[in-house]
Structure formats: C-alpha cells, structure tokens
C-alpha cells in the first residue's frame, strides 16, 4: 500500500506442502522464440505445473490461442492454496535492451504483464497475490506495486487492498528493492494527484517530512518560512507567491548517506507550484484542475530522496523545493513587471504563466551554496515540452555529457525514458534580448522552441559545470500510454532519479 515503504515480507514457502493463507498467484509464460511450438513457462510456472500434475499446461493448450505479450488467462480451482491463478504473457525470453526504444524491453514486458495480472486478482477481491519473479524480481515488484496503485482517498467505494508478495525464495533482495522503487513513485503520484486545497505548500512540506522521518533517522529537514525567503533575497520566487493567500515555503532536505559527510552532494531542485492558475495571464478553465500537479518537480525529487534514504544509498543528497501557488489577485505579478532574482539579475515578467522558471531561478542560485557534485532540477515547466515529446520521455537539457550519460543509462533500466534537448546560444539570445531588464521570462519569438528558451533562461542562473534541467511537463500524467500505471498523475521520472542517484553513488569520478 501507499504508506508502506519498509517491512516488506516475502512468501518463501515450498509450493507443495507448507501451510499458508489463500492468495492469488500470477505466473509468467514466454512466447516461443519461433512462431510455432509450445510456450515456455518461467521456472516458477514450471514448478507449479509439476505440482498440479501438468494440468496448467494442459488447460493453457485447450483454452485458446498462445498468450501474447501483456495478455492474461485465469484458471480457478487448480490448487487448494491458490483459488485463482493468472498466467501472463511476457513476450520473448531473450529480449533485452532495444537500441530503437532506448529501454530494456524484457523489464518493461515484465512490469506490464505483472501489473495486469495483479489487477485481475484485485478484481476477484483476493487480499493477497503472490508474484512470479519472472527472471527479474525487481521489475516484477515494480509492476505489481505501480499497477495496483490508485488514488482514492476521497472515495467511499474503494478498490480492494491487495498485498503483493514474492512467490518462492529467488530474488528476495531484488523484490525488496523493486517494492521500494515502486512505493517511491507512488508517493510522487499521491502528492501530484491530491487536490490543491489538501496539498498546500505547508501541507506538502509536512507530508514529505513525515515520510522522511519514517524512512531514515539521519535526515535533516528545514521548512523555511516567508521571512527566511525574504532574507535570502529570492525576489523572483516571492513575486510569484505574493498573488496567493497561501504563504510560500522553501523546503530544504539533507540526506547524508556517504561515509564522509563532507563529500560533495547531489543537489536536486524541484518546482513546487501546488496550484497554477497562470496568475494574471490566466489559463483557460478547461483542464485547469490538472494544475494541482504543477508541483510534479518537487514531488518527484522529494520522493526520490525518501526512496534513497529508505535504500540507505551511500551518497549525500540535498533536495530544494520552492513551494507556492500562482494565483491572480490585486497583489499578483502583472505582465511587464520587473523583479530581481537572488543573484541580482533582473527579470521582466512578460507572462505570469511562465512562473516556474522564476521559482527555479532563485532555488538554483541557492543550490550553488553546497559545493555540489551535480545539480539536477525537475519541473513541469512548459507545454512546449509536451508538444515536442508527448509522454514518451522526459526532456533533458544539460551542460554535462557525464551527467547525461548517467541519466540516460539509468532510464534504460527503469523504462522511464529521457531524451536530450539542445541548450544552444541561439535560445539564450531570445531571453537576454529584453527591453526593460536583463532577462525576459519568455522568448522573444513567443511560442517557437518554448521548452528550449525556458531551459536557456534557467542556464542564466547556473555556473556549475554539471547541471541538468528535466522538463517533465509531458510525462506529468498517464492516460493509457504506460500500461503499468493507471490513469492519473504519473509520478514520473521518480524511479529514473533514484536509479541515477544509485549510479552516481557507485561512480567515483569527481565532478
């Protein structure tokens, strides 16, 4: 469930003989490498079939065509301890990383198949499901945890709670890791999906604080108030916040996982606009409710540090999240206003709905105080990013090939992909050519290359040589594109950030 980040249990009983509670069972089956011939069970599937004297294989052969990738078939009454067995199609066994798709197809197939199988057990209202590790227990756990999650906090009629467990004893550690990864992304989904009147800036910070205290005792959390933000001279951030009755919060989190607490940290920065009306440059009313998730950057980086702390990653990590609402009022920013950022640069606010970059400008300046190994910021920044890539991948703008390589290789493993975008001087000129100030918060050619001009704007507040900006606007929500996520806010790319941090903790190269 959403609240469980620790205390994972596994089923390690022997299939035939040991006494245990009834549960559903999800088993994988591979497509034959050739077009003809019988399908191949996983090791767990083979063991179960032997336990039921070959009945599973027999029933599969007479119940319809060979199971295709992601398709399922349910059998009842085969085994007294498993009233319902769901067989899921995993596709071809030998499949791996696809150069065309930029992900590990085998892992993605497992996540998708397991999620479908677990949902079918949930539909049968069976409270526990044992999951075949399918040769990759981490991917199987992720598929189960992510596939079963649904935000239903305010509904009287809720889906039955189903607890997924590992079937058998192979891959316990990998299953635990996958469970923690999945729960981390579900935390981001929860924060993004919750209504904006429940996740205000202060409530966001308090919920993250609660999760961190449960995950790790050695995490330091600072919930900074408006007066602290004023002392830091974060004029760009404050200019956005002043239009709302909700006071701004600057959330600062320190996790010291490295053996040396003085090792340069990874600094993660997340845009935290808990509701974005657009301000005076008001958004259209249609679909505006989705702007409760405009704090997706803050949600994913905070969920990543909760997950890293739960995993005890040997890495120092700092998270910075400027949190506020962007609302129209008599005190709100007006188009044409000029504000001063923390580094002294002046910004002409030509469009109050390009507010995320104002928060990030000040947060990025502050991030330079920590002798960072690398700074990575995430933000649902531009509709242009959604137009460019849709929900296929997060757009990455970076000045560091070393950083890009780590992010890219992490995304291949998680299936939550990234794609590199340009940081050309061409775009910088469009934000620095400004009539009233040092910078304009929108490019002078309006809609052209909007994601790129936004990144060029942020680059004006970065002096470190390893920085990456992740524009996650396109991956903010899921309709049906990712089969192991239900419709709603996606919590992407939390798992990629965690895998990236894991890789960084194993890389001794100094940045």
What are the tokens at 466? 């390893």
Q: Is residue 269 part of a domain?
A: yes
Domain shared by 144 and 201, yes or no = no
The per-residue DSSP string of 402-424 comes to: HHHHHHHHHHHHHS--EEE----
Q: Is residue 19 part of a domain?
A: no
Give the model confidence (pLDDT) of 8-33 as tens digits. 333 334 443 334 457 999 999 999 87
Give the model confidence (pLDDT) of 315-370 as tens digits. 999 999 999 999 999 999 999 999 999 999 999 999 999 999 999 999 999 999 99
What are the tokens at 253? 């989190």
pLDDT score of 7 more than 70: no
Number of domains in the chain: 2
Which pLDDT does position 94 carry in this prediction? 82
What are the tokens at 363? 């947060």
Helix (H) or strand (E) segment spanning residue 299:
helix 296-310
Q: Is residue 174 part of a domain?
A: no
Q: Is residue 13 part of a domain?
A: no
pLDDT score of 279 more than 80: yes
Domain shared by 380 and 497, yes or no = yes
Domain shared by 261 and 145, yes or no = no
Domain shared by 199 and 128, yes or no = no
What are the tokens at 303? 């969920």
What are the tokens at 180? 């923690």
Q: Which residues contact 330 (CB under 8 A, 6 or more apart)?
A: none
**CB-side neighbour CA atoms (13 Å) of 8:** 24
Which pLDDT does position 180 carry in this prediction? 98
- Residue 260 has what DSSP assignment? S
Average the pLDDT over 130-143 and give the result. Answer: 98
Which pLDDT does position 2 carry in this prediction? 37
- Structural domain boundaries, residue 78: 24-169
Domain shared by 214 and 158, yes or no = no
Domain shared by 354 and 480, yes or no = yes
CATH code for position 128: 3.40.220.10
* List 107, 357, 373, 492, catalytic entry: 357
What's the mean pLDDT when you consider all of the chain?
94
pLDDT score of 511 more than 60: no
Domain shared by 106 and 205, yes or no = no
Q: Is there a contact between 133 and 140 (Cβ–Cβ < 8 Å)?
A: yes
Better pLDDT: 445 or 103? 103
155 is catalytic: no
Domain shared by 92 and 150, yes or no = yes
Domain shared by 164 and 254, yes or no = no
User: String of b and e for 132-157 (b: at least 16 CB within 10 Å)?
Assistant: bbbbbbbbbbbbbbbbbbbbeeeeee
Within the chain, how many helices (H) and strands (E) appear? Answer: 15, 22
331 is catalytic: no
**CA proximity to 467, closest of 343, 372, 357:** 372
| Distance separating the N- and C-terminal Cα atoms of the chain | 38
Give the model confidence (pLDDT) of 150-188 as tens digits. 999 999 999 999 999 999 999 999 999 999 999 999 999
Helix axes 172-193, 296-310, angle to 10 degrees: 150
Which pLDDT does position 508 carry in this prediction? 65
Domain closes at, from 135, 169, 203: 169
Residue 364 to residue 297: CA distance in whole angstroms: 13
Domain shared by 317 and 461, yes or no = yes
Domain shared by 152 and 232, yes or no = no
Give the model confidence (pLDDT) of 428-454 as tens digits. 999 999 999 999 999 998 779 999 999
| Beta-strand pair 219-224/418-420 | unpaired
Which pLDDT does position 21 carry in this prediction? 58
How many other C-beta atoms can be found within 10 angstroms of the C-beta atom of residue 86? 25
Domain shared by 219 and 329, yes or no = yes
Q: How confident is the model at residue 35 (pLDDT cuts 50, 70, 90)?
A: low
Is the Cα dihedral 4, 185, 356, 396 positive or negative?
positive
Q: How confident is the model at residue 145 (pLDDT cuts 50, 70, 90)?
A: very high
Domain closes at, from 169, 203, 231: 169
* List 159, 226, 283, 503, catalytic entry: 283
Which pLDDT does position 11 carry in this prediction? 37
Domain closes at, from 105, 134, 169: 169
Q: Is there a contact between 86 and 72 (Cβ–Cβ < 8 Å)?
A: yes
- Residue 335 has what DSSP assignment? T
C-alpha distances out from residue 395 to 75, 239, 349, Å: 43, 27, 24
């Amino acid at each position: 469930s959403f609240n469980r980040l620790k205390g994972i249990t596994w089923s390690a009983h022997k299939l035939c003989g040991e006494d245990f509670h009834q549960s559903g069972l999800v088993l994988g089956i591979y497509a034959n490498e050739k077009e003809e011939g019988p399908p191949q069970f996983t090791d767990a599937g083979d063991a179960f079939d032997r336990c039921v004297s070959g009945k599973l294989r027999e029933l599969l052969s007479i119940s319809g065509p060979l199971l295709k990738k992601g398709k399922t078939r349910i059998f009842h009454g085969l085994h007294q301890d498993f009233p319902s067995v769901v067989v899921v199609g995993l596709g071809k066994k030998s499949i791996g990383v696809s150069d065309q798709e930029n992900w590990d197809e085998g892992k993605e197939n497992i996540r998708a198949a397991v999620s479908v199988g677990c949902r079918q057990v949930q539909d049968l209202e069976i409270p526990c499901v044992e999951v075949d590790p399918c040769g990759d227990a981490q991917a199987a756990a992720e598929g189960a945890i992510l596939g079963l999650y649904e935000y239903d906090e305010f509904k009287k009629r809720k889906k039955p709670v189903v607890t997924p467990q590992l079937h058998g004893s192979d891959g316990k550690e990998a299953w635990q890791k996958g469970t923690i990864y999945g729960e981390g992304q579900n935390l981001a989904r929860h924060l993004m999906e919750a209504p904006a009147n429940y996740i205000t800036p202060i409530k966001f910070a308090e919920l993250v604080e609660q999760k961190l205290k449960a995950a790790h005792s050695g995490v330091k959390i600072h919930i900074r108030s408006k007066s602290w933000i004023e002392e830091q001279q974060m004029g760009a951030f404050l200019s956005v916040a002043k239009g709302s009755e909700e006071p701004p919060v600057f959330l600062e989190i320190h996790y010291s996982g490295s053996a040396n607490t003085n090792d340069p940290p990874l600094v993660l920065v997340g845009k935290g606009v808990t509701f974005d009306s657009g301000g005076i440059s008001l958004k259209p009313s249609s679909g505006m409710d989705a702007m409760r998730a405009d704090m997706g950057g803050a949600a994913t980086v905070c969920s990543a540090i909760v997950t890293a702390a739960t995993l005890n990653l040997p890495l120092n990590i700092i998270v910075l999240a400027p949190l506020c609402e962007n609302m129209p009022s008599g005190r709100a920013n007006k188009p044409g206003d000029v504000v001063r950022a923390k580094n002294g640069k002046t910004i002409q606010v030509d469009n109050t709905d390009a507010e995320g970059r104002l928060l990030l400008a000040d947060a990025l300046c502050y991030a330079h105080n920590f002798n960072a190994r690398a700074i990575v910021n995430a933000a649902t920044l531009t509709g242009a990013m959604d137009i460019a890539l849709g929900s296929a991948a997060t757009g990455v703008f970076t000045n560091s090939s070393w950083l890009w390589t780590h992010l890219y290789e992490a995304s291949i493993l998680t299936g939550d992909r990234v794609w590199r975008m340009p940081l050309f001087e061409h775009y910088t000129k469009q934000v620095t050519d400004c009539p009233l100030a040092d910078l304009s918060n929108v490019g002078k050619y309006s809609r052209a290359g909007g994601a790129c001009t936004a990144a060029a704007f942020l680059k004006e507040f970065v002096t470190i040589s390893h920085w990456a900006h992740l524009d996650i606007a396109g991956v903010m929500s899921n309709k049906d594109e990712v089969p192991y996520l239900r419709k709603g806010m996606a919590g992407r790319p939390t798992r990629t950030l965690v895998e990236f941090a894991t890789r960084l903790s194993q890389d001794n190269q100094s940045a």
